[in-house]
Amino acid sequence: MSQITLNLDNAASFIDTDLSDKYAGKTRDILQKMEKNSDKADEFLGWIDLPEKIDNEILDKIENTARQFKENYEAVVLVGIGGSYLGARAVIHALSPIFKNAYTDNPEVYYAGQNLDEDYHYELLEELQDKDYGVVVISKSGTTTEPGIAFRLLKQDLERKMGKEEAAKRIIAITDAKKGALRKLADEEGYTSFSIPDNIGGRYSVLTSVGLVPIALAGHNFRDMIEGAENMRKVTTSEVPFGENMASQYAAIRNELYARGKVIELFGTYSTRFHYIQEWWRQLFGESEGKDGKGIFPSSVEFTTDLHSMGQYIQEGHKMIFETILSLYSTDQILAVPSRDDDTDQLNYLAEKPVHEINIMAESGTRLAHVDGGVPNITLGIPRITAYNLGQLLYFFEKACAISGNLLGVNPFDQPGVEAYKKNMFALLQKPGFETVSENLLKRVNPHDQKERLF
């Protein structure tokens, strides 16, 4: 089976520390502690053993549900936000044909609940007007505003079209086993439902039903993905020495670069299929590490597109950046540059070369230029875009992120800062329980945001 690889050569040259001397013991202790506590309810470490321990009955239920949807509906709307959305979208986008949102002959996938954009919701309902569709609503808390609003709109649309009973047959709820508004609704209305384990937080949940149900509905091989994750689990345990443990090494080099003023990490890719892997990665590292006034700022660039927009800054701007490049060895399709007798565009020197070969040369050239420009480069190699390899990749990042947050001295499993905007928004919207909107808060609101703008 193919293996994701990590190459630190172009980053290690920026530091004068022996990573193994400094981090082998620390990372092993962190891993041992996490492994020991993985079953504890309040530690949010349930994801660590998940690929190995995943319940086969749940996998069968996921498979059956996906089969049923494929047989009956032409489209499915996935409703969720943050950790309840990005993992599934990342995998579906990476594995589906580029101009489709699902594998051939499977229900076409739409997304909702990831924003509060009125036009988006309006046009989505219009788009779904003549489509026979089902809905998967995902929310661990069951009370998040964005998916809550989207689900209300879609539920109303389905119920108007086909009545409450038929609508309920087309809705799948993925939420807490016992608590929350969505669990209550799912039980009352008899939706097919899946439970999210208590000890797994949103951004670490792609290998639970949160990620697996949508991935299966889009027709992708979630069992291969779990197998890939299991492979990565085995090669990143506390028993694997630092020199062979890519999760520990990635966590260590990030922290070492951060200590040297490299406070921004750019996750770069050269394939459009990785677009939502980048979004998922940004959430994983951003919410896990950005706290207590600390943390590398995770950003992303899609090359070669962004070489024509961000390339200048990366090459010659402030030296606070390092890059992690996801390097794809081979593509599924082969397409060569055609030869032309006229050669007016002077591209005949590339004639008959596969486009991917040119992309690889762009990647190598850029890596050398950026390293010469003072930008350390970490390279992750991925042989091909398959479910198995994506399973490895996602688990690798989860493990590395947890180690990295611990090295930094923050709790990588909470996100207290996310509540600040919600508190203000609820107060301004006069949500029950938030009536004590202080005069001060209202006075500070930009006049542009006041009621007159709304009508």
Q: Interface with ligand PA5 includes 140 (CB under 6 A)?
A: yes
Instruction: Enumerate residues 6+ apart whose C-beta is below 8 A from 441.
Output: 424, 427, 428
The DSSP call for residue 51 is H
Give Cα 319 to chain centroid, integer Å. 27
**Does residue 220 carry a catalytic annotation?**
no
Catalytic residue among 287, 289, 302, 398: 287
Task: Confirm if 299 and 282 have CB atoms less than 8 A apart.
Answer: yes
d(CA 262, CA 246): 20
Nearer to ligand PA5, 2 or 145 (CB): 145
Q: Which H or E run contains 159?
A: helix 145-169
Total residues contacting ligand PA5 by CB under 6 A comes to 14
Nearest distance from C-beta of residue 324 to ligand PA5, angstroms: 21
Nearest distance from C-beta of residue 84 to ligand PA5, angstroms: 4
Q: Interface with ligand PA5 includes 147 (CB under 6 A)?
A: yes
Q: Interface with ligand PA5 includes 219 (CB under 6 A)?
A: no
Stretch that binds ligand PA5, among 32-40, 50-58, 76-84, 361-369 (CB under 6 A): 76-84
Give Cα 197 to chain centroid, integer Å. 19
- Alpha-carbon distances, residue 396 vs 47, 245, 278, 393 (angstroms): 12, 10, 14, 5
d(CA 416, CA 145): 17
Pick the binder of ligand PA5 from 93, 155, 203, 367 (CB under 6 A).
Answer: 203
Site string for ligand PA5, 98-127 (x = CB under 6 A): ------------------------------
d(CA 102, CA 111): 12
Task: Confirm if 139 and 80 have CB atoms less than 8 A apart.
Answer: yes
Pick the binder of ligand PA5 from 19, 45, 81, 277 (CB under 6 A).
Answer: 81
Nearer to ligand PA5, 279 or 287 (CB): 287
Stretch that binds ligand PA5, among 39-47, 78-86, 308-316, 382-390 (CB under 6 A): 78-86
Q: Which of residues 278-307 bind ligand PA5 (CB under 6 A)?
A: 287
**Does residue 22 carry a catalytic annotation?**
no
Pick the binder of ligand PA5 from 83, 268, 298, 391 (CB under 6 A).
Answer: 83
Nearest distance from C-beta of residue 8 to ligand PA5, angstroms: 28
Q: Nearest-5° angle of CA 406, CA 31, CA 240? A: 135
Nearest distance from C-beta of residue 414 to ligand PA5, angstroms: 9
Nearest distance from C-beta of residue 75 to ligand PA5, angstroms: 22
Nearer to ligand PA5, 277 or 321 (CB): 277
Catalytic residue among 100, 234, 318, 422: 422
Long-range contacts made by residues 151-155, C-beta under 8 angstroms, separation at least 24?
Answer: 151/79, 151/112, 151/113, 153/112, 153/121, 153/125, 154/77, 154/79, 154/112, 154/125, 154/128
Q: Which of residues 3-32 bind ligand PA5 (CB under 6 A)?
A: none
Q: Interface with ligand PA5 includes 84 (CB under 6 A)?
A: yes
The DSSP call for residue 40 is -
Stretch that binds ligand PA5, among 18-26, 138-146, 216-224, 249-257 (CB under 6 A): 138-146
Q: Interface with ligand PA5 includes 213 (CB under 6 A)?
A: no
**Does residue 422 carry a catalytic annotation?**
yes
Q: Which H or E run contains 107?
A: none
Nearest distance from C-beta of residue 399 to ligand PA5, angstroms: 16
Stretch that binds ligand PA5, among 14-22, 77-85, 114-122, 430-438 (CB under 6 A): 77-85
**Dihedrals φ, ψ of 328, to 5°?**
-90, 125
Pick the binder of ligand PA5 from 202, 295, 298, 391 (CB under 6 A).
Answer: 202
Nearer to ligand PA5, 421 or 455 (CB): 421
Nearer to ligand PA5, 248 or 283 (CB): 283
Sequential DSSP letters for 206-255? TTSHHHHHHHHHTT--HHHHHHHHHHHHHTTSTTS-GGG-HHHHHHHHHH
Give Cα 142 to chain centroid, integer Å. 20
Instruction: Enumerate residues 6+ apart whose C-beta is below 8 A from 95.
Output: 103, 218, 220, 273, 385, 386, 387, 390
Please give the residue ranges that form the binding site for ligand PA5 (CB under 6 A): 81-84, 139-141, 144, 147, 201-203, 287, 415
Q: Which residues are catalytic?
A: 287, 308, 422
